[in-house]
Structure 1
Amino acid sequence: MTWRQAGGALIGRAEEFERLVAVLTGAAEGEPGAAVVGGDAGIGKTRLVTELVERARASGFAVLTGQCAELGDTLPYLPLADALRGAARDAGIAPLIEARPLLNGLVRGTWSDGDGEAGSGLTQQRLFGSALAFLAELAETRPVLFVLEDLHWADRSTRDLLVFLSRMLQRERVCLVGTYRTDDLHRRHPLRPLLAELQRLPSVTVVGLGPLDDGEMADYLVTLGGADAKLIGKIVERAEGNPFYAEELLDADGLPYGLANLLLARVERLADPAQRVLRAAAVAGRRIDHDLLQRVSGLDDAELEEAMREIVSHGLLLPDGDYGYMFRHALLREAVYTDLLPGERTRLHGEFTRLLDDSPAELAYHYLAGHDLPGALAASVQAGRRADALGAPVEAHRHYDQALALWPRVRDAEQVAGIGRMRLSLLSAAAVDESGDAQRAVSQMRELLATEGPTAEAWERLAYYLIDAGSAPAAIEAAHTAVTLAGTTPAKGPDAAFDACVLARCLATYARALLWSPRHDDVKDLARQALAAARAAEVRDAESSALISLAMVYEIEGDPACAQDLLAEASAIRSGNLPIDLRALFHHARIQYERGDLVAAAETADRGVAYARETGLSWSHYGTDLRFLRLLIHYVAGEWKEAGALAAGFAVRVGRLPEARLSGFALFVEVARGDAVVEERLAWLEPFWHDELVTYIVRGLAAEHALWNGDPLTALDHVNAILDVVEPFDPVLIRICATGLWALADLSDPTSGRPRPDLDDAARTHPQASRTRADDLLNKARDAATVGPGSGKRGELGLEGQAWLARAEAEWHRVNGTATPDTWRPVLRAFQFGFTYEVARSRWRLTEALLASGARDEALTEWRTAMTESESLGAAPLHRALEDLGRRARFTTTTPAPAPPKDPLTTLTAREQEVLSLVAEGLSNREIAERLFIANKTVSVHVSNILAKLGVSSRTQAAAHAHHHRR
């Protein structure tokens, strides 16, 4: 029996296979999902996934398969490149890859190494966006199965990509499947956190493969050609349920070897040339190119072909498409590599360093294994640059750090590396910052400044990372040092151009660090200096950053028109620094929105969203901010169909903070429409309430949701939580305070919507407490509108902020029972800059005030307009509140259907039935009058008529009668 007889039916894995098929079927129906398949080496993971791949292909799926390598973090995105390389052979898929430069570079290896300062974190965001867009576009034509094997060897960037895709795929017809070896996962293995994170996602299925039982193992051996029952019994006992081990035992006639000895016994059957080739292949890794294998082995064409024929016939290496060959199983490669003699291993690694010339990461690996430290230093630097260009910041930092560790052990290190230690350290710090660890970048820069001579560039980078880390005072100090070292004018001589660039960036960073401090005058001066220096040196990113900072100062000082002009100039710049370019577009659209120019804001936001999409940065910080702002503009402009479409793309089942922030923004339109998804979204967002932005957005809208459902006490809990974490000078508090005042008014005002009786009791018990709390909330709103950071004066408040302040003032009057039509008319006017929904809500309250003042005809006009507006928007909670108001005010013509003659309640008029219902709730005549907008005397007449018609003598008996006949 030979290895080539293996295969046949899938034995003992029916349940596991059906679970994978369920994920595959769901993806085909538009419910993307992921599965991770774990098990010991040789347990049958690849066999199971191969069966799934065949099922997928038969069902019309596009199948992409990629494999991780034992070199681990040395080669970032190896499985993605592997999968894309295979997919590029499909004429229908190749154009989708070619249209995305980063993906095409992975396939062809044509990316530019650049100078290592392109920003690998940014490139990673672009690559992730490109991969997501590629899968989404491909899934529009046919469903997709993307398999990543051997995740226990995956690099950090590949692991991050898998998590990103698992979360971001929402409606695309894509199924992700990964395999990993459980016996390789030690306690601190980096795959463990990823598996834990994936397992929390409802879209992820975890499949664990255990040993086959004795009967299944016997059946499996029969499918492999086993016929000797005694031998099969011995193998079943020896293999302990592991199919690969059983296969090797069967091939070795059941000899009682350990697995490594079994595998090496197969190798020892080969002729010497074939063994030499196999050992060289083991040093290369699980896969090896045919030509490279020939050069390392030293065999001529005929000798290599004969050796390879023998190796393949014994099932040790398998042909691997256009690539060359691959080991049939990773355990086989590990056994051959481990069996190499130390000198033999060093010599073969040295051979690979001599022959490899286009893979610095592999070169660094082989140089280190071959104890060639100068070669390892040079290759590590190049590998770091390559990882930067690929968008793999974690891997870039690892390579740079490896080079720094080798530095003191290599003579003439700077000449060997082709870069100075200072520059290498800057690259390493930049990579770790871009990977999301700003604190580590700060530590690395402080260490650098302590060991190397201080430079303006190093201090500027430290300030930049301190800003990212949220350490404003330290950032200001570092930026000041940077500017001092850079001098007030650029130096002359051969380094003048470089010095001019450094000065411009130092000034721009210093201005940015000071921006939210009380030193506004300093910011203005520094930003102007930075702008002049940047334009003189033609440093476009510093120019844009200076314009943004200068605009912010003018905005704070109350000159939004000048700020808008500066931001328009900044947003027109394409500096090549994509985060700054997107930041300029966002703030330009934001200030247009805040000034009430919704059309212009929409145009700028659309430009920003398109630019983020084109550059693959839709999921970057400002990419998501621009999408939220676009949703907000749709929401305010009353374009709720478009807003809803954007909100539907924001994941409900979130697991990371950036996703939670974006998800929270969807609540603006969903709460206003009363969508069923609101409760589910709020439940998923609750674990992220520790974040200030999530707290403000999500809990603020949760408060509105509670109010629409008649629960003002819960709404107040949300409002109080927001006030505890948001800075008192932040203008976002104005809206929150207005919401809190709405809740207090509902507690104290029986005319508000559908209050719960127990809450009315609480309000009656503590009316003074409500008024005191209302005073506090109004004062907070006024302070947020006028006082800036550091108790400085705030600039001109935007139109929406002014409208929310007017709303807060009006709600305060509702709490105190002093609201009049003139209280609400300014609110209505303030929101008429284009905020359709708030205009309708203001008409609702204006109608109530008009009814209370006796202006019934005007109230009817406002009510009808509000009904039309709310219906047009699809604002169901508001529409229901307006219907209730209209019923209480008798604006509607609908009356209750006649009751059977025997029921004495049928003798009551419609208005008397309304009054009786309120009497049954325990309301006094005054409260009933306020609820129904009628006089106390009229209520008294109605109550007297009710008692007479029902034949009872007290309000209590009337209430009991009503309860009895309406059960």
Structure 2
Amino acid sequence: MSSQVVSPVFAGRREESARLAAAFALATAGDPATVLVGGEAGVGKSRLIEEFLRTSDALVLSGGCPDVSGGGLPFAPFVAALRGLPGELTGTERDTLAPLLLTPAPRAGDDARLRLFEGLLALLARLAGARPVVLVLEDVHWADRSSRDLLDFLVRNQRAAPGTLLLVTHRSDEPGRARPVRALLAELGRVPWVERLELPRLSKAAVVAQVRGILGHEPDPEVLREIIARSDGNPLFVEALVDGGPEITVPASLEDLLLAGVEQLPKAGRDVVRAAAVGGARVPHSVLAAVHDGDVTGAVRSAVEAGTLLVDGDDYVFRHALIRDAVHASLLPGERVALHARYAAVLAGVPGAQSRLAHHLSAAGDAPGALAAAWEAAGSARRSLAHAEELRLLDRVLELWPDVPDGAERIGHDHAAVLEHAARAAALAGEPERGERLATVALAELDRGRQGARVALLLDQRARLRGRLGTGGALDDHHAAVRLLPARHPARGALLNSLAEHLLVVPLPDEARRAAELARDEAHAAGDDATEASALITLAVLAARIGDLDAQLPLLAKARALAESAGADGVRLRSLRFEAHLLQAYGRLAESEEIARRGLAAAHEAGLARSAGPDHAVDLIGTLLLAGRWAEAAESLEHAMELTQQGTIHTHLLAYKAYLALHRGELDTAARLAARARAHNTGSAPPPTLLLVPRLEAELALARGEPAEAARIILPALEFPHLAVSSRFTWPLLVVGARAAGAAGDLTLLGALIDQAAGTRIAGPVQAAEARTFEAEAARARQRPDEALWETAVAAWEPLGHPLHLATALLGLAGARLATGTGRDAAVLPLRRAAELTAALGARPLHEAVTALARRARIALPGEDDAERPRFGLTARELDILRLVAEGLSNREIGERLFISPKTASVHVSNILGKLGVANRVEAAATAHRHGLLGPPE
């Protein structure tokens, strides 16, 4: 046998090592970098990373994925990666990351998993602030679903953790069960900062160098030819062939090759290796000692010295999974069953071992024991926020149930209860279709007369799942759930609130109001502050939609206070979201911006910046767009779109980005973005998104000179049921429709628009301005331009601070005055004002329309006034950022305050330093103070 199993010479990987070094250089420069290292088993993926890290000064966090078919911990690679860190964590980090630290989680709730994911990302960002961090995740072809979800989250949000490098290894030859991982890796491969690195087999020259390194001398040429031929360049096979004995021989099969080293161990060593193969990818010393007969230390030592087993902390692992597979396959069925039974006996009662216990009991043929252990393991997975693993274990309970007649007695729950738990786990695991099916099966097993409360809660759960799916039946389930519970039942307030929230979206506002009032009263009587707060929010929104905002702001403040006292972050954030939304709808843009930023800060404080933050970003960006602060809106848009790549919020952001491109005159870009928004839009989306997309598409068609196409888009949108109650989104659609009808000469569409307008409520000054604009556009569409109507529209927009809408109305007024013969002089002021507004905005198409009309009317427009440019050439945005620099905020803190990425903040700071002619932030602050640049924000 050779003196060493692994060659000290790292052969044949110069190019691959250089690519890892380049990725690390990117990460240390502040750019995100992830490398997915693939290759067949034994090709040297782990060795490549080990050699790369040998010369790195980074903090390395490393964990491997065990084969989950043998049970094991959820989030296993992340648990292993954080194993040595608890002493470096803050109290908040320990609470947030409790499931990964194997400690009890202090907080539960539907958002706990989101907090966990964001908490790990924040931890990596904090650690990388001191030194580069490399997170290594090995063998992800075996990763459990929760680990895959967390990996996906970290990679897609890696920009938020500059200074980190993720290295992920996987087998590219793993069949069948690795299909979900291959799908994930394919998706991640499309992320711009992800590189796929496939390791080929070694060249002949590299194999020769490897063999020389192992032997320490020149090998026999004939034997070397055999090794090259049989190993086919696989480094693990080369090691096994060289390790076969003093006279290098070539076994007849791959299994013989991998077992050759094992067979040369003493009997005790062979026995302990076989026992370890049944134990799984990682076996603790204490467990192996209890399973193995005789002196385990001596037996293991022989296996470790031979290089078959490796020591990792208190555990033993095989040098390579292929060796474990070969040893396991060599066992007789009876030997495997006996060893599984011994493992089960040892693991019974061991904390955290329920999943492995269930696996061993099942393999040992003990169905009753396996069922009970799987049930306990599912509970443990639920507490660890590993809902996909919880669902897998509950599936196992359901599979075993027919074979265990006394299953209900063993776990203390009936079959329907297992289905109920599985339905909830499916919902939390992001499988609503599966959850809906499980809930339906469970409902069929329950008696509504005797088990009314259980049925009601399950109906509510199914209703919410059906609402997510948009498949129908949700409202019937909500109603049935409420009817089953008597007044003053502790859960009735929550069910009524769930009904009210659904009715708010349907929309059925009158019924929603009645349900919310009942929910408020029932929740108050039950002392359920979170539900009472949510019901108050629904009532406030319903009242504000019909024109009563000021009276509702105290109600929203009360709801927020109740939510804070109950620790209900989701309800608190909902209150802030609706308040910002309503203030924007009423034209109170400064207040809306303030509340939207408070919402972003609250989401960050709650550890939900990436999950809840984009909701508040939509309101912030909408306010910035309306206020004409397009450059700021564009930066926040880019940052928000980095945080969310799917769902309704992403659709809304795409539409906003398209809207901005459209009004800047970038029609091709707008068209691409609008098509993406349309592809993401679904019938179950809320009214803002449902109505925003067709309006955007119609405006784009008008900008392209296709009014008939715009009319074709608008007409079916008038059938949406939301138009009757969502007047905030109806009026803008009607205005665009009137322009399309006029340009296309479509009197049928115009009649439909006028009919819709007659039945649409006007709530607040913004809707009043939209309504006046619609009346003026409708008159123009009938070829009866009305100067008075446009004057009314201009007066309505003037105090609201919506420059694009005001400029549009001013253009309409100038056109009406020229068309009605009032005179050229009367058109001068509105045209000049519109030109100033559109030039400041950068609204090129509208500005061109203004200048074209002025040219036709022979009206001269003023040029830009250079005297108004900021001192030192600083833009308004740069002045805002300079104030924050002077406060001592870092780029990351500036990004959080302004909702832009840290990299965007860094670019702004660099530009500011250059314009001021200073070398650093301290000098910039001093210069700003000296020249009086830090006045109040504009």
Query: Shared topology, TM-score over 0.5?
Result: yes
Shift of 1:333: 1.9
Partner in structure 1 of residue 105 of structure 2: 112
Deviations 1:887-942 (A, max 9, x none): 554424789xxxxxxxxxxxxxxxxxxxxxxxxxxxxxxxxxxxxxxxxxxxxxxx
Which residue in 2 is equivalent to 1:841? 808
Residues of 2 paired with 1:78 and 1:680: CA distance?
Answer: 45
Q: Is the 8 A contact 1:148 1:178 kept in 2?
A: yes
Q: 2:437 aligns with which of 443, 452, 466?
A: 443
Task: Determine the structure 2 residue equivalent to 1:506.
Answer: 495
Deviation of 1:137 (Å):
4.0
- Does structure 1 residue 224 correspond to structure 2 residue 214? yes
Q: Residues of 2 paired with 1:275 and 1:187: CA distance?
A: 30
Secondary structure (helix, strand or coil) at the match of 1:371 reads: coil
* d(CA) in 2 for partners of 1:780, 1:129: 49
**Structure 1 pair 81–873 and aligned structure 2 pair: CA distance change class (3 A):** farther
**1:100 aligns to what?**
93
* Distance (Å, rounded) in 2 between the aligned partners of 1:722 and 1:24: 51
Contact 1:113–1:388 (CA under 8 A) maintained in structure 2: no
Separation in structure 2 between the aligned mates of residue 648 and residue 566 of structure 1, nearest angstrom: 34
Other-structure match for 2:81: 83
> Which residue number corresponds to residue 532 of structure 1?
521
Gapped runs of 5+ residues in structure 2? 865-938
Select between 39-48 and 359-368 the one with higher mean Cα deviation: 359-368
1:714 CA drift (Å)? 6.7
Listed one character per residue, the Cα deviations across residues 242-293 of structure 1 (whole Å, up to 9, x for unaligned) are 2211210111123224232233221232233433433343333222333444
In structure 2, the residue corresponding to 1:649 is in which secondary structure? helix
Q: CA deviation at 1:428?
A: 1.8
Alpha carbon RMSD of aligned pairs, Å? 3.7
Distance 1:533 1:656, change over 3 A: closer
C-alpha displacement at 1:338, in angstroms? 3.0
**C-alpha distance in structure 1 between counterparts of 2:299 and 2:670, whole Å:** 66
Identity %: 32
For 1:10 and 1:687, the matched residues in 2 are separated by: 52
Partners of 2:125 and 2:161 within 8 A in 1: yes
Q: Between 166-175 and 334-343, report the one with greater CA deviation.
A: 166-175
The answer for the alignment partner of 2:603 in structure 1 is 612
Say which of 335, 343, 350 aligns to 1:356: 350
1:124 alignment partner in structure 2: 113
> For 1:251, which of 237, 243, 265 is the aligned residue?
243
Report how far residue 637 of structure 1 moved.
3.3
Equivalent residue number for residue 775 of structure 1: 750
Structure 1 gaps, min length 5: 491-499, 749-768, 788-793, 896-967
Partners of 1:548 and 1:566 within 8 A in 2: yes
Q: Which residue of structure 2 lines up, in the alignment, with residue 596 of structure 1?
A: 587
Where in structure 2 are the equivalents of 1:672-683 lying within 5 Å?
672-673=663-664, 678=669, 682=673
User: Which of 791, 794, 815 is the equivalent residue of 1:825?
Assistant: 791
Q: Counterpart in 1 of 2:530?
A: 541
Cα distance in 1 for residues equivalent to 2:308 and 2:212: 22
Distance 2:750 2:679 in 1: 30
Q: Which amino acid aligns with 1:363?
A: L
- One-letter amino acid matched to 1:772: L
Q: Distance in 1 between matches of 2:21 and 2:293?
A: 47
- Taking the TM superposition and a 5 Å limit, the aligned residue runs for 1:473-492 are 474-488=473-487, 490=488
Distance 1:547 1:892, change over 3 A: closer
* CA distance in 2: counterparts of 1:43 and 1:451, whole angstroms: 52
Q: 1:236 aligns with which of 210, 218, 228?
A: 228
Q: In structure 2, what is the Cα distance between the partners aligned to 1:442 and 1:524?
A: 27
Which position in structure 2 is the counterpart of 1:645? 635
**SS of aligned partner of 1:100:** helix
- Aligned partners of 1:507 and 1:178: how far apart in 2? 47
Report if the CA contact (8 A) 2:95-2:105 is conserved. Answer: no
- Matched residue type, 1:486: L
- Give the secondary-structure state (helix, strand or coil) at the position aligned to 2:490: helix
Normalised TM-score (structure 2): 0.80
- The change in CA–CA distance for 1:549 and 1:690 in structure 2 (over 3 A counts) is closer
Q: Which amino acid aligns with 2:381?
A: A
Q: Number of matched residues?
A: 837
Give the Cα separation in 1 of the matches to 2:158 and 2:773: 40
CA distance in 1, matches of 2:602, 2:541: 23
Alignment partners' CA distance in 2, 1:17 and 1:331: 24
**Deviations 1:744-792, CA, capped at 9 Å, x for gaps:** 65xx5xxxxxxxxxxxxxxxxxxxx524266146337516xx35xxxxx
Whichever residue aligns with residue 891 of structure 1, its letter is A
Normalising by structure 1, we get a TM-score of: 0.78
Secondary structure of the 1:148 match is strand
Find 2:420's aligned residue among 419, 423, 426: 426
Q: Distance in 2 between matches of 1:142 and 1:221?
A: 38
Would the alpha carbon gap of residues 892 and 354 (structure 1) be closer, same or farther in structure 2, given more than 3 Å must change?
A: closer
Correspondence list, 1:453-492, <5 A: 453-454=447-448, 455-470=452-467, 474-488=473-487, 490=488
Amino acid at match of 2:528: V
Q: 1:381 matched to which residue of 2?
A: 375
The CA distance in 2 between the partners of 1:546 and 1:653, in whole Å, is 29
Give the partner amino acid of 1:79.
P
Letter matched to residue 342 of structure 1: R
Q: Distance in 2 between matches of 1:859 and 1:208?
A: 68
Contact 2:96 2:115 in 1 (8 A): no
Which residue, 197, 203, 206 being the options, matches 2:196? 206
Write the deviation string for residues 587-634 of structure 1: whole angstroms up to 9, x where unpaired: 2332233233334433433333223222333343x5432221122123
| Shift in Å, 1:819 | 2.8
Distance, in Å, in 1 between the alignment partners of 2:345 and 2:15 is: 48
Secondary structure at 2:135 match in 1? strand
- In structure 2, the residue matched to 1:152 is 141
The change in CA–CA distance for 1:664 and 1:25 in structure 2 (over 3 A counts) is farther
Tell me the CA shift for residue 703 of structure 1.
Answer: 5.0
Q: In 2, Cα distance between the equivalents of 1:368 and 1:714?
A: 64
Moved more, 688-697 or 375-384: 688-697
1:6 aligns with 6
Distance of 1:374 and 1:485 partners within structure 2: 36
**8 Å CA contact retained: 1:460, 1:505:** no
Q: Is the 8 A contact 1:170 1:651 kept in 2?
A: no
Change (3 A) 1:476 1:141: same
Q: Distance in 1 between matches of 2:187 and 2:320?
A: 28
CA shift digits 1:846-865 (9 cap, x unpaired)? 34444555555554444444
Alpha-carbon displacement from aligned partner over 1:855-879 (angstroms, at most 9, x marks no partner): 5555444444444444544545545
Cα distance 1:886–1:521, how it changes in 2: closer, same or farther (>3 A)? closer
Partner of 1:37: 37
How far apart, in 2, do the equivalents of 1:269 and 1:504 lie?
71
Query: What's the counterpart of residue 279 of structure 1?
Result: 274
| Cα distance in 2 for residues equivalent to 1:812 and 1:680 | 27
Determine the structure 2 residue equivalent to 1:943.
none
Q: 1:370 aligns with which of 358, 364, 373?
A: 364
Matching residue of 2:896: none
User: In 2, Cα distance between the equivalents of 1:519 and 1:672?
Assistant: 35
Which residue in 1 is equivalent to 2:911?
none
